[in-house]
């Protein structure tokens, strides 16, 4: 899961990001500026945005309204120092999914984040198919000829990304940027290791689907 923390209090942003990385293990990007937050949300696919309201560059209210106007469906959890009934109604009407009043407990924050991400995944759950492979995204289940196939969580996410783009070439950079945060080391061979393991699992269950390497460009799901 990938989360964007938009908070101008640097220490608070760092503490929240650390808690989300070390607790549920999310990939977390951080920005302290509203305008930069909009750029990141347009360029990347975030499962959740933690959004402070008092921001330089562009206020949190404006960021929220522009995200929804652009049809960006990331869940949004608003972080605010002051809240009242009218303010709450206005935020929810603008497209916020939840809010927390500062100061807040990090444990409660993590629980709220888990709930929002789980809810969004249940809503967007779907079944993807490619030849004799069937992927049930809401259940994190892959079957081949209706027989379950075990995959690691990262392997599942890579295969889901590929199966949503059948026959399209996906670069290593694109995969890493959608699986990890921007602190990811682009020269790491972890993506290659996961692709290798995925190929092995596919060979064990099917002879009609493989992951091809397109030299100098990336990978694609293809017929064997």
Q: In which band, very low, low, confident or very high, does the pLDDT at 66 lie, cut at 50, 70 and 90?
A: very high
Higher pLDDT, 33 or 137: 33
* Sequence ranges of the domains in the chain: 2-123, 127-223
Give dist(CA 157, CA 47) in Å, integer.
Answer: 13
For the domain made up of 127-223, the CATH class stated in words is mainly alpha
* Tens digit of each residue's pLDDT (9 = 90 or more) over 137-149: 877 789 999 999 9
Q: What is the pLDDT of residue 165?
A: 86
CA 94, 98, 101, 103 torsion-angle sign: negative
More confident residue, 48 or 224: 48
In which residue are the tokens 């990939």 written? 27
Radius of gyration of the chain (CA): 19
62 vs 191, which has greater pLDDT? 62
2-123 topology per CATH: Rossmann fold (3.40.50)
Strand 218-223 relative to strand 209-214: parallel, antiparallel, unpaired?
antiparallel
């Amino acid at each position: 899961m990938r989360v964007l923390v938009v908070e101008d209090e640097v220490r608070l942003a760092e503490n929240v990001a650390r808690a989300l990385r070390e607790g549920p293990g999310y990939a977390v990007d951080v920005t302290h500026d509203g305008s930069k937050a909009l750029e990141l949300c347009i360029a990347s696919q975030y499962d959740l945005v933690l959004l402070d309201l008092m921001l330089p560059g562009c206020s949190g209210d404006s960021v929220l309204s522009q995200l929804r106007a652009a049809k960006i469906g990331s869940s949004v959890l608003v972080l605010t120092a002051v809240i009242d009934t009218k303010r709450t109604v206005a935020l929810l009407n603008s497209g916020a999914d939840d809010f927390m009043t500062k100061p807040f407990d990090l444990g409660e924050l993590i629980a709220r984040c888990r709930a929002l991400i789980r809810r969004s995944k249940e809503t967007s759950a779907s079944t993807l198919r490619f030849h004799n492979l069937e992927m049930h995204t809401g259940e994190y289940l892959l079957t081949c000829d209706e027989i379950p196939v075990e995959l690691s969580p990262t392997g599942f996410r890579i295969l889901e990304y590929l199966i949503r783009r059948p026959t399209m070439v996906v670069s290593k950079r694109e995969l890493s940027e959608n699986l990890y945060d921007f602190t990811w080391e682009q020269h790491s061979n972890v993506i290659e290791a996961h692709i290798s393991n995925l190929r092995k699992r596919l060979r064990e269950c099917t002879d009609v689907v493989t992951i091809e390497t397109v030299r100098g460009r990336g990978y694609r799901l293809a017929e064997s």
